[in-house]
Amino acid sequence: MAKLNMVQAINRALDEEMARDENVITLGQDVGLNGGVFRVTEGLHEKYGEERVIDTPLAESGILGSSIGMAIAGLRPVAEMQFSGFSYLMFAQLEGHASRMRSRTQGQHTVPLVVRMPYGGGVRALEHHSESHEATYAHLPGVKVVIPSGPSNARALLAAAIRDPDPVVFMEPKCSYRAFREDVPEEPQVMEIGKGQVVQEGADVTVISWGAMMRPTIKAVEAAQKDHGVSIELIDLLTISPMDTDKIVSSVKKTGRCVIVQEAPRSFSPSSEIIATINDHALMYLEAPVKRVTGFDVVTPYFGKEQSYLPNERRVRHAIEETIGF
């Protein structure tokens, strides 16, 4: 067991996968000698060389478009977008090509690639460096969207994403990068994509979150349990798309109450989809309206105001209390 932060854990997964399969390569801006601006690819350049760890020219569409070709031709590219805010420059390649190559060729050509990107706020960054726009990617059929919440699941999910037969957008909550450490086993680990995780079982209310929001959510859950003696089932979604609707539905059927916490703007978001799913499959089990704590439908504010706009422990606790007290 080693105590690793999320940066180190992701780095370990990359290292293990590159060691396991020589077709795995990584490419992006500053990922080589510099080890990435967050140091996620630190040391890989020295270990695997320039052919497999590529400092690319500054062009997101170029990075993803060439990764698509590499993937079609048998490599397993792990592309890095320096920040999710710059990933939209590759959107056309992802939507128009990576997502549908399998479908339009009836499975003859496939695009097993991973595109990693730090996302989210809370680190006092410049504009375009703090957005949480997972819904944008989750809306694309043929693209999987994975968001780890801690070192351990980040490592195991990245390994799974690299081995996955289809394009995976892997969004890394940058404010959790170095925020805490976890025990990570020595032997490689793989978690299944498409499955949420029940972090703790409970009977009175289901709380669902993912990514960076898991931390304030866990604190709020602990506080609500302590103050009100409620039994809370906490689900870490981990995969945004395809969503683990079974887990959500069975939990809500059991508890009859649900609170969803997301950093992203509210409209047309994962929480909207969760509520629609509950409506489809568990409406008659509800004892209170599903409540959500979300970002707002505004352009992500510069960091001077971001703390007012980000969901926090207190907001989550209030939502849990209102739901229980309904």
Partner 1 sequence: MKMSEHSTIGISSKPKTKHWPDTCDSEAPCHTFSISSLQILDEHGNLDESRMPDVSSEDLVKLYRAMVLARLVDDRTLKLQRQGRIGTVPLCTGHEAVTCGATLAMRDEDWFIGSYRDLGGRLMRGEPIENGLLYYNGHEEGAVFPGGERTLPISIIIAAQCLHAVGVAYAMRMKGETETAVVCFLGDGGTSEGDFHEAMNFASVWQVPVVFVVANNQWAISVPREKQMHSRTIAQKAIAYDMPGIQVDGNDALAVYKATKDALDLARSGGGPTLIEAVTYRMLMHTTADDPTRYQPPEDLEIWAKRDPITRFRKFIEQKDLWDDEQQTDLEAQCKQKIEAAVAAFESRTDFKVDSPFDHVFGTSHTRIEQQRAEFLDMLKKESADG
Ligand X SMILES: Cc1ncc(C[n+]2csc(CCOP(=O)(O)OP(=O)(O)O)c2C)c(N)n1
Q: Which residues belong to the active site? A: 129
Q: What is the per-residue DSSP string for 160-175?
A: HHHHSSS-EEEEEEGG
Phi, psi of 175 (to 5 degrees): -75, -10
Q: What is the DSSP string of 233-258?
A: EEEE--EEETT-HHHHHHHHHHHS-E
Write the interaction track for ligand X spanning residues 68-107; mark x where CB under 6 A is met and - where it is not: --------------x---x--x------------------
Structure tokens at 19: 């060691």
Which of ligand X, partner 1, none lies near 309, with the C-beta cut-off 5 to 8 A by kind?
Answer: partner 1
In whole angstroms, what is the distance from residue 128 CA to residue 146 CA? Answer: 21
What Rg value do the Cα atoms of the chain yield, rounded? Answer: 19
In whole angstroms, how close is the CB of 25 to ligand X at the nearest point?
20
Residues that bind partner 1 (CB under 8 A): 29-30, 32-35, 37, 55, 57-59, 61-62, 85-86, 89, 124-129, 266-267, 296-299, 301-306, 308-309, 314-315, 318
The residue among 60 and 134 lying less far from ligand X, judged by its C-beta, is 60
Could you give the 3-state DSSP secondary structure of residue 224?
helix
61 binds, among ligand X, partner 1, none (CB under 5 to 8 A by kind): partner 1
Show the site string, 38-67: x = touches ligand X by CB under 6 A, - = not. --------------------x-x-------
Candidates 80, 179, 79, 88; CA nearest to 131 is 88
Beta bridge partners of 182: 4
Q: Which is nearer to partner 1, 50 or 201 (CB)?
A: 50
- Comparison of 119 and 210: residue with beta carbon closer to ligand X: 119
Binder of ligand X out of 5, 11, 29, 67 (CB under 6 A): 29
| Binding residue count for ligand X, defined by CB under 6 A | 6
Q: How far is the CB of 67 from ligand X (least distance, A)?
A: 16
Phi/psi for 156 (5° steps) reads -70, -35
Cβ nearer to ligand X, comparing 27 with 238: 27
223 with 313: CB under 8 angstroms? yes
Give the CA angle between residues 211, 217, 222 to the nearest 5°. 140
Residues lying near ligand X in the complex (CB under 6 A) are found at 29, 58, 60, 82, 86, 89
